Homo-oligomer: A and B are copies of this chain.
C-alpha cells in the first residue's frame, strides 16, 4: 500500500503540552527523491516556508522534518536560523547533506522553537524509522494539531505497465493562529518524475484540491504541500503516462483536502460548492470562494436553512461579471432559483435533506460558459466560535 523506498517516524519530544502526544515526524527517502512544493501566498510566511521555497523543486531530497505545536512563524532571523538547524539535524540523522532536507512547522505563532527538544526528538525519530503503516501513521500524528483524527489517502495505479503507489498525509482543521492548526501535507510516491514534472503535477493537483478548500478563509503563514517522488517504480514518466499519474495525484489530493473542512473546527457539515457556466476557471473559483467564505451561507447550512438569497448575493460580490438573469441554483438536487427568479420548492424537504446529511451540495450556474470548479468548506457553528474565542493563550 505504501510507496516503495520511503521510511517514516513520529515521536513525542515535548513541544506540545500534552504528554506523550506526537509532535515531530520524519519522512525519509534514503535514495533521494525528486521534491516539489506549493506554499502559502501570505506575505507573512513562516521560516520553514522560506527555507523550502528555496530548495524546491529539487532532484535530491532525503528527508522532510515536521514539528507540530509551534509554527516558527513571525520569529524573524532567529526563526530562519532555527529552521536551518532543524534541516541540518534531520539530514545528519539519516546520513544526508544539510541541503537535502525540507522543513515544516505548525502550531503557535510568534514563539521560538525549543531547539533542545527538537534535537532530541530528531535523534529519537531517526532510530524509529520504518516502512510500514504503523510508522506512517505515527508520522501523520506527529503533524496534527487541532485535528480530530489523522488525514490520509492512498492510491495504487498502473502506469506504463508498472505499479505506482501514492500515499498522502495532511493536517488542518482551522486555518491559523496561536494554538490553531495550519494546513500541511506530504505526498510520497515511488513514481519516477523529473523535478519539473513533479512541480507541475503538484501545482495542478493543488489547484483543484488544497486551493479549493476553506474553513473560515483565514490564510495561514505556514501552508505547505510537498510531493516526494522516490522513483523506486522505475522509468521516468512522460507524456500520457505522466497524465495518468497526474490523474491519480489529483484524485488523492482531493480526497485528502476534503478531509480538512470536513474536520473543520466545530463543523457539523461539509459544504460542496459547484460553480458552473463561467467564462474562465478563475471566475468560477472567485465565485466559489466568495460563497465558501460567507458567514451567512455557512450559518444557513448549519441551521438547515435553504437560504438561496445568501448564496446568490455572495456570488454577486465576488468581483466577477455575470448576468443575474442567467443565474440558477440547486441545493442537494432541488432547484431553488431559476434564471434570475425564485423557483417554487418544498422548503421543508430541502431543509430535511440538509439536516439529514453531513454533506450539503450547492450547484450554482451563472451562464453558458465552459468553465466550472468545485470548492469545499465547513459550516459555521457555535462550537467554532467557542473554540476560537474561549481557548486563550
Contacts and interface: CB of A to CB of B under 8 A. Distances in A.
Interface in A210-238: 216-221
Identical copies of this chain, number: 2
A313 B382 contact: no
A111 B308 CA distance: 12
Interface in A344-393: 347, 351, 380-382, 384-386, 388-393
Contact of A337 (B74, B299, B312, B322): B74
Contacts of A316: 42-45, 219, 221
A174 B299 CA distance: 13
A108 to B, nearest CB: 8
A289 B241 CA distance: 46
B216 A313 contact: no
A295 B177 contact: no
A254 B90 CA distance: 56
A324 interface: yes
Interface string A262-302: 00000000000000000000000000000001111001101
A384 B390 CA distance: 15
Nearest to A305: B392
Pick from A73, A299, A315, A337 the residue with the most CB of B within 10 Å. Answer: A299
Contact of A300 (B110, B306, B389): B389
Given A313-B44, A317-B43, A389-B305, A296 B177 contact: yes
A307 interface: yes
A216 B295 contact: yes
A63 interface: no
Contacts of A75: 341-342
A44 B312 contact: yes
A310 B303 CA distance: 27
Contacts of A330: none
Contacts of A337: 74, 110
Nearest to A220: B313
A177 B132 CA distance: 52
Nearest to A79: B341
A253 interface: no
> Interface extent on A, as a size class?
35 or more
Nearest to A311: B177
Interface SS of chain A: helix, strand, loop or mixed?
A: loop
Interface string A160-203: 00000000000000111110100000000000000000000000
A302 B385 CA distance: 9
A50 to B, nearest CB: 10
A320 interface: yes
A341 B74 contact: yes
A323 to B, nearest CB: 9
Given A317-B42, A341-B76, A309 B392 contact: no
Given A44-B327, A219-B316, A337-B74, A385 B380 contact: yes
A314 interface: yes
Nearest to A175: B296
A352 to B, nearest CB: 12
A140 B174 CA distance: 41
Contact of A305 (B295, B306, B393): B393
A175 to B, nearest CB: 7
State the 4 A-B residue pairs at the shortest beta-carbon distance, nearest first: A109-B309, A44-B316, A303-B389, A299-B388
Contacts of A386: 382
Given A175-B296, A295-B384, 9 more contacts: A42-B313, A43-B320, A73-B313, A180-B296, A219-B316, A219-B317, A293-B293, A300-B389, A304-B392
A177 B221 contact: no
Given A294-B218, A341-B74, A309 B178 contact: yes
A134 interface: no
